[in-house]
Amino acid sequence: MALGRFIKILPFVIIFLALGSQTSFAKRSSEQIYTEPFDLAAGGTTLTRASQEGIVFANPALLPLGAAWIRWVGLQTGFMIDRDLAESGQTSFKGVSGSEAEAEGEGEGNALVQELFSRSLHAGQTLTLGFLNKNFAFTVFDRIEVDVEGDRFGNGGLPAIRFSGEAYAGGLITYATQPVRWFSMGMTTKYLYMAEPDIFIPVTDEERIELLVSNPDNLLDELKFGTGVGVDVGTLLFWQNTFVDLSLGMKVEDLGGTQLSNGVDTIPQTLNAGLGLAFHGSTEVLHLSLDYRDIGGAYEEKTFKKVYAGARLMIRQVFGAAVGLYQGIPTVGVRVDLFLFKLGVTAYGRELGTYPGDRQRNMVMIYTSFGF
Amino acid sequence: MLRWLLLSTLLCHASCDTKSKAEPYAELTLQEEGRKALDAEDYAAAIVAYNKAIEADPTDYESYRFLAASYAGEAGFDLLDAVAGTLSPDKGGGKSNLLDTLGDFVPADPTDDQIEAMRLSKETLLRLPPEYRDKDNTDIESASSAAQQLEFYQAAYSVITINKFAKVDPTSGSLDPAQLETMTDEDVEAILGNLEELSETSSDGAVGEGVSEILAQVDAAPGGSRREKLIDYLANK
């Protein structure tokens, strides 16, 4: 049957998609295109508080806030993987990496189908290189996430394999200023190279599978790569005393909409607002924050997908711990800063679907950075 | 250090549960309610939701397909099992005849409600405008898949109806002739008429070929009436 042939090409398709997505992407959600991993641990709240290079993606108006003239110079890299996969580790990986060999035996092919339809496979990588001072920042980045799942009723009730991904790369230039003590504003100009492929391959559709087997370039046609230049504008209002800070952040993301070069896709403009509260001790700081993204509903998402809440605790500027709710899903993370070297782990969840529990992915991310 | 960080993070995450806390606060559309129920194999709830969705918007053709899948699930026919099972040598995959292959994936002893649900499954897809279930229509993305879905459900309807009468006699190991004799002309028409309809709409493809082969074999079987031919074919298969 057609599925047998499909299983034989599955490893190739996965690799092909991963390679293909290095060169493009497209946006389905109001989530940020990149969130710094420690900020992810704090529920993805970024509008009033963001870490390192995450500032330029979060709210450019945060740039003038630090005490030091140089906010961050360095490189950060992270790898994320579906937490269920990470926990069951080798067993799960064997099911996929060995699939080519297994597909040779039809009984084993059935096992692979069971594996594919019993759990999702999600993995990704991020890399950033940035220079940020109090007024100016230059950052280059990439983020690639690939998701493969067997959806039992995915194609109008028919079983289908769904390949989706988010691939972003680009450069950002940010300028920010603080004209008065209680107000700052900033602007980021970004060049994006992106695509968000979302491809269903019905396992019963012999013609479609045949098309893929005969000419994999057909798959490439379905990945709509695009480039575009967009602008984000942010503001921050804050009141500060010795022990408590209160801040209100606003950001217009993709001002006027960011048109992509493929002529079809546009990243819509969104208005985002956040509220932050910080308590200062002698050596520690506790930040509480709440973000509401896409206030105007450009992405037509349900409210739960637009709400982010979190808390960060930094002790002696060395150890950090964070918890939060990312689209209603609990997050937690820890980070250790050792001057030039930083290491952290974040466990978080994302909802890729439209309602809670639809396509929830529980992820773990390990990241490290070199810089100061 | 990394191990310590990883362990502590995962422990914290596990202890606070990864289930979405937003579930009680999110309002679902009828389509989402249906899909959620379908994923949970709560077919009765999915049928209610998709029927409401179609009632609200009769041109929501995607919901017809999901409704058909819900009826098929209610009937006990799991297409994934059928597709995956054909790869298994000891189940459907070891058999060359379409009836035997699908027979492994529908209830062996179906209730009348299950047969009716399977009938409703195919009938729901037949309510789609013809261009929305045309295998060769490339203008509508889902048309080809809907056509295949209909083929499967039509074939499964005939098979599940046959299963009602096809009982294996434990002493002889073959089908019990007495049970086959209880088949009425109406049952025969439901089985063969449906297969003929399927054969007409699906001349190519594995299912269509399989059905044509069966119809030819039934026609070649001895007997004066269609009922006698079908009973003879099943008894000697």
* Chain B neighbors of A333, CB-CB under 8 A: 9
The CA distance from A90 to A86, in Å, is 8
pLDDT, residue A23, reads 35
Q: What is the pTM of this model?
A: 0.81
Q: How far is CA A125 from CA A194, A344, B18, B68, in A?
A: 15, 14, 22, 40
Q: Are A369 and A75 in contact (CB under 8 A)?
A: yes
Q: Which residue of A has its CA nearest to B101?
A: A1
Local confidence pLDDT in tens for the 372 residues of chain A:
444 554 555 554 444 444 444 333 357 899 999 999 999 999 999 999 998 889 999 999 999 987 677 888 889 999 999 877 766 654 544 444 444 444 444 455 556 666 677 777 889 999 999 999 989 999 999 999 988 888 888 888 888 888 888 889 999 999 999 999 899 999 999 999 988 888 877 776 666 666 665 665 666 666 677 889 999 999 999 998 888 999 999 999 999 889 888 666 788 999 999 999 999 888 889 999 999 999 999 999 999 999 999 999 998 888 999 999 999 999 999 999 887 899 999 999 999 999 998 888 999 999 999 987
**Inter-chain residue contact B36 with A206, CB threshold 8 Å:** no
Chain-chain contact of B88 with A304 (C-beta, under 8 angstroms): no
Distance from the B145 Cα atom to the nearest Cα atom in chain A, whole angstroms: 7
In terms of Cα–Cα distance, which of B150, B170, B163, B181 is closest to B71? B150
Question: Considering only alpha carbons, which residue of chain B is nearest residue A87?
Answer: B10
Angle made by CA atoms B43, B46, B49, in degrees to the nearest 5: 155
Look at residue A17 in the predicted model and tell me its pLDDT: 46
Find residue A348's DSSP bridge partners: A363
B205 neighbourhood in chain A, CB within 8 Å: 206
Residues A347/A361, Cβ–Cβ less than 8 Å: no
Min Cα–Cα distance to chain B from A193, Å: 28
* pLDDT lower than 50: segments of chain B: 87-89, 92
In angstroms, the CA A77 to CA A82 distance is 17
**What confidence score (pLDDT) does residue A295 get?**
95
Under an 8 A CB cutoff, do B20 and A304 touch? Answer: yes
Q: Which of B4, B6, B12 would best serve as a mutation to test chain A binding (most A beta carbons within 10 A)? A: B12
State the pLDDT at residue A175: 94
- Interchain contact B72–A (C-beta under 8 A): yes
Separation between Cα atoms, residue B75 and residue B44, nearest integer Å: 11
In DSSP notation, A134-181 reads SSEEEEEEEEEEEEEEEEEEEETTEEEEEEEEEEEEEEEEEEEEEEET
